[in-house]
Amino acid sequence: MTEMIPFNSEQFLILVVDDVSQNLQVVGSILDEIGYATTFATSGEQAIKRVKTAKPDLILLDLMMPEMNGLEVCQSLKSDPLNQEIPIIFVTASNEKEHLIQAFEQGAVDYVTKPFSVPELLARVKTHLELKHTQDQLKKALLELEKLATTDSLTGIYNRRQLFVIGEQELQRSYRNNRPLSLLLLDLDYFKKINDLYGHSIGDQALILMAQTTLKSLRNSDFFCRFGGEEFVVILPETTLSEASEIAERLRFNLAEVSLFSQSETISFTVSIGVTSSTPSPCAFDLLLNRADQALYQAKHQGRNRVVTYQLTIDH
Active site residues: 230
- Asked if residues 183 and 235 have their Cβ atoms less than 8 Å apart, the reply is yes
Contact 103, 77 (CB under 8 A): no
Q: Which amino acid is at 165?
A: V
199: left (phi over 0), alpha (psi -120 to 50) or beta: left
Other beta carbons within 10 angstroms of residue 204's beta carbon come to: 13
How far, in Å, CA of 177 to CA of 170, rounded? 10
| 165 Cβ neighbours under 8 A, 6+ residues apart | 150
Q: What's the CA gap between 73 and 203, in Å, rounded?
A: 58
**How far is 294 from 187, CA to CA, in rounded Å?**
12
